[in-house]
Amino acid sequence: MTTLNSLLKKLIKASAGRSRFIMAVVGLSVALLLILSAVQIQMNYNDLLNSKTNQDSIANFLVINKTVTSSNVGETALTPAEIDDLKKQPFVDDVGILTASRYKLSAQGVSDQIPFYTELFFESVPDAFLDVTNKDWQWNQDSKFIPMIIPNMFLDMYNFGFATSQNLPQLSQELVMNLPVQINIRTTLGTVNYYGKVVGFSDRISSVLVPQNFMDWANEKYGEQGKKQPSRVVIRTRDAGNPQLVSYLTQHNLTTDADKTRFSKYRQIVTGVVNVSWVTGAVMLLFALLIFTLFIQLTIASCKEEIVLLVTLGAAPKQLQRFLMKQFFPPNIVIVVVVLLVISMLQFVLKQLLDKQNIYVNGLISPYTIAAGVVILTVLYLVNRFSIKKYIYQDK
Amino acid sequence: MTINLNNIVPIPLKEKFSQRGSDVWNRNVTLEKGEWIKIKAPSGTGKTTLVHTLYKLRDDYQGTVVWNGKELRGISDDNLALMRQQNISIIFQDLRLFQQLTARENIELNRLLQQPYYEAGKIAEMAEELQVTHILNQRAGLCSYGEQQRIAIIRSLMQPFDWLLMDEPFSHLDKNNTAKAAALIARECKARNAGFILTDLDEDEHFTYSRYMNL
């Protein structure tokens, strides 16, 4: 049976620029492959940073303070404006303020087996920033002891440096946690004694930590100086290797544990590769769109007489537009689908390769990659529609 | 569907008309639904110009053409297409067939541009009547003018219309074929209760005209 479409197909042949059409298809395919690969690589990288199996819990929390130089000694406090600015940065998820004790205190051993005495300070940080979860980590005014978290590094320094050189016994974590400590807080009215107990060891924050509510209470009660600005903060970040973070810290004369930001260099390389892929893909997409537009223009121009006569006989421009859309758009869908399939295959192969190196990425392509494909398809649709409309109305 | 011609004067022919009188140019003329109108005029006085003006193929005239209350100049592309599908059909003097399509495809195309008015079988029926059955599957470009003219006539009758515009529609036909074509056209116009405007060089008695006009 003859249909209007089959008749129109005979009249409006797209064969006018077969080679241009193939060029446009190839160009578009490569462009899409580059762009969607860039999206997929980005997604894989995000996956590596965020997924549970790959997460390095230390790397996600950074203690930040001003670099102490000869010019700013004694003025290393962070102003509220500086902290607010830090909070606003896209790479900072959360900022926790390290509160320092505003009273003098010392600690000493209670038992005779391990006698010691040391001047001490406390700091506190909101619980969300701690890497130690412990049922003993709580305090109220009726508590018998003050729970403390000390850095693992302290114990290591003692065990492997101090103890061996001074011929003292090495201490295990369990032993330290069972060791009662007397805390002396010196006030203007005399010394107040408390008991303290180490309840955990932190790799994250190198300080002697006490619960925030104890700190607030004790500062209120024994604090000598007025409220002081904090000079250290903890930030939570999804990616300690973010080059933006590193450059922000440098710019603002801030410093953190450099080791934790070491991924920054690798990250820059990945970002570089992704960006090159992006830009190349985008430029190619632009050219492919241009060729497609030219191809549509050429086809319509080569069928100018037919189109004019069709309109004369009563074909609506919209009818012709719909017909041309059916001719030109479906190849675009095919290209996007094929490219997505190719990327799925590549992703699967990549997973196999990385699995061997204990790096775990998703075997399936990211929904974002598919979404990007759909977005590009929409752009193609609009460009197709626009150029068909433009040239049809030019002709008729 | 009435057609009002309000003082239309084609700009290219403006000088010529000032010299002599005309029943159409520079007058107010109302063509009522169902009228069968013969417009007689010598060569070069604007027969084709008039037909093309009425069909909105050209805009280079003064005055206004009003189709059923709507000014032709202001009509949108989509409404124009709708009008050409539903209300006006045309037989061009220069035939205007798609040379690369077969005779049948040319007719079929106009049948399918809108919701078909006739079944596809009607094509063979009319072709039989006008004795062009044998060329239906031949490319239009290979048909003689006489054959092409009959194809153009059948094509124009494949769609619904209120007015049929015919620009020297029998110029390539002999007496016998002209009579057959005229009979077919008359029958189709009556069936639709439609009017027509036929332009020609000479007097004729192909139809029982309701109005004669001189250009």
Residues of chain A in contact with residue B81, where contact means CB-CB under 8 angstroms, are 311, 314-319
Digits of tens for pLDDT over chain B (215 positions)? 899 999 998 988 887 766 667 888 888 999 998 999 999 988 888 899 999 999 999 999 999 999 988 999 999 988 999 999 999 999 999 999 999 999 999 999 999 999 999 999 999 999 999 999 999 999 999 999 999 999 999 999 999 999 999 999 999 999 999 999 999 999 999 999 999 999 999 888 899 999 999 88
Interface check for A304 against chain B (CB to CB < 8 A): the answer is: no
Between CA B66 and CA B8 the distance in angstroms is: 11
> B40, B213 in Cβ contact below 8 A?
yes
Q: In the prediction, which pLDDT does A15 show?
A: 57
- Who contacts B50 (Cβ-Cβ below 8 Å, separation ≥6)? B10, B24, B39, B199, B215
Cα dihedral sign, A214-A220-A221-A224? positive
Query: What ranges do the domains of chain A cover?
Result: 4-54+265-395, 58-262
Query: Buried (b) or exposed (e) across A189-216, using 16+ Cβ within 10 A?
Result: eeeeebebbbbbbbebbbbbbbbbebbe
Residues of chain A in contact with residue B57, where contact means CB-CB under 8 angstroms, are 312
Between CA A256 and CA A62 the distance in angstroms is: 6
Is CATH 3.40.50.620 the classification given to domain B3-214?
Answer: no
Residue A96 φ then ψ, to 5°: -115, 135
Taking CB atoms and an 8 Å limit, are A11 and B100 in contact across chains?
A: yes
pLDDT in tens, A144-196: 889 999 888 888 888 888 888 888 888 888 888 888 889 998 888 888 888 99
Interface check for B82 against chain A (CB to CB < 8 A): the answer is: yes
Min distance B82 CA to chain A CA atoms (Å): 7
Residues making up chain A, counted from first to last? 396
Taking CB atoms and an 8 Å limit, are A314 and B84 in contact across chains?
A: yes
Helix A367-395 vs helix A304-313: crossing angle, to nearest 10: 80
Taking CB atoms and an 8 Å limit, are B84 and A313 in contact across chains?
A: yes
The model's confidence at residue A87, banded by pLDDT at 50, 70 and 90, is: confident
Q: Which amino acid is at B145?
A: Y
Q: Return the percentage of chain A with pLDDT > 70, whole number.
A: 91
Interface check for A258 against chain B (CB to CB < 8 A): the answer is: no
Between CA A203 and CA A238 the distance in angstroms is: 18
Q: In the prediction, which pLDDT does A164 show?
A: 86
Residues of chain B in contact with residue A3, where contact means CB-CB under 8 angstroms, are 112
pLDDT in tens, A341-390: 999 999 999 989 888 877 778 888 899 999 999 999 999 899 889 988 88
Between CA A320 and CA A196 the distance in angstroms is: 85
Distance of CA A300 to the CA centre of its chain: 48
Q: In the prediction, which pLDDT does B39 show?
A: 94
For the ranges A34-43, A109-118, B36-45, B185-194, the lowest mean pLDDT is seen at: A109-118
Q: Highest mean pLDDT range out of A19-28, A51-60, A262-271?
A: A19-28
Assign residue B68 a region: left if phi > 0, alpha if psi is -120 to 50, beta otherwise? left
Query: What ranges do the domains of chain B cover?
Result: 3-214
Interface check for B98 against chain A (CB to CB < 8 A): the answer is: yes
Q: In the prediction, which pLDDT does A291 show?
A: 81
Residues of chain A in contact with residue B100, where contact means CB-CB under 8 angstroms, are 10-11
Task: Specify the pairing of strand A190-202 against strand A146-151.
Answer: parallel
- 3-state secondary structure at position A379: helix
Residues of chain B in contact with residue A309, where contact means CB-CB under 8 angstroms, are 96, 98
Token code pair at residue A294:
């030219």
Between CA A295 and CA A300 the distance in angstroms is: 9
pLDDT in tens, A278-306: 888 888 888 888 888 888 888 888 888 89
Locate the chain A residue with the closest alpha carbon to B79. A316
Residues of chain A in contact with residue B120, where contact means CB-CB under 8 angstroms, are 2
Q: Which of residues 103-132 of B touch A (CB under 8 A)?
A: 105, 108-110, 112-114, 120
Helix B121-129 vs helix B103-112: crossing angle, to nearest 10: 130
Interface check for A2 against chain B (CB to CB < 8 A): the answer is: yes
Q: In the prediction, which pLDDT does A265 show?
A: 67
Between CA A255 and CA A246 the distance in angstroms is: 9
Taking CB atoms and an 8 Å limit, are A316 and B77 in contact across chains?
A: yes
Residues of chain A in contact with residue B96, where contact means CB-CB under 8 angstroms, are 309, 312-313
Number of other CB atoms surrounding residue B142 within 10 Å: 12
Q: In the prediction, which pLDDT does A49 show?
A: 66
Average pLDDT estimate for A40-47: 82
Q: In the prediction, which pLDDT does A56 show?
A: 45
The model's confidence at residue A55, banded by pLDDT at 50, 70 and 90, is: very low
Interface check for A131 against chain B (CB to CB < 8 A): the answer is: no
H helix runs in A182-316, sequence order: 212-222, 243-251, 263-302, 304-313
Between CA A254 and CA B128 the distance in angstroms is: 96
Interface test with A, best of B113, B117, B136 (most A CBs within 10 A): B113
Interface check for A308 against chain B (CB to CB < 8 A): the answer is: no
Average pLDDT estimate for A101-109: 87
Residues of chain A in contact with residue B77, where contact means CB-CB under 8 angstroms, are 316-317, 393, 396
Taking CB atoms and an 8 Å limit, are A7 and B109 in contact across chains?
A: yes
pLDDT in tens, A204-229: 788 889 998 898 888 888 887 666 77
Q: In the prediction, which pLDDT does B94 show?
A: 94
Locate the chain A residue with the closest alpha carbon to B55. A312
- Cα angle A202, A204, A208 (rounded to 5 degrees) comes to 55
Distances (CA, A) of A218 to A55, A206, A208, B159: 36, 21, 15, 97
Between CA B48 and CA B39 the distance in angstroms is: 11
Between CA A373 and CA B188 the distance in angstroms is: 55
- Cα angle A302, A305, A311 (rounded to 5 degrees) comes to 120
Assign residue B72 a region: left if phi > 0, alpha if psi is -120 to 50, beta otherwise? alpha
For the ranges A23-37, A250-264, A328-342, A351-365, the lowest mean pLDDT is seen at: A250-264
> B155, B181 in Cβ contact below 8 A?
no
Residue A254 φ then ψ, to 5°: -105, 160
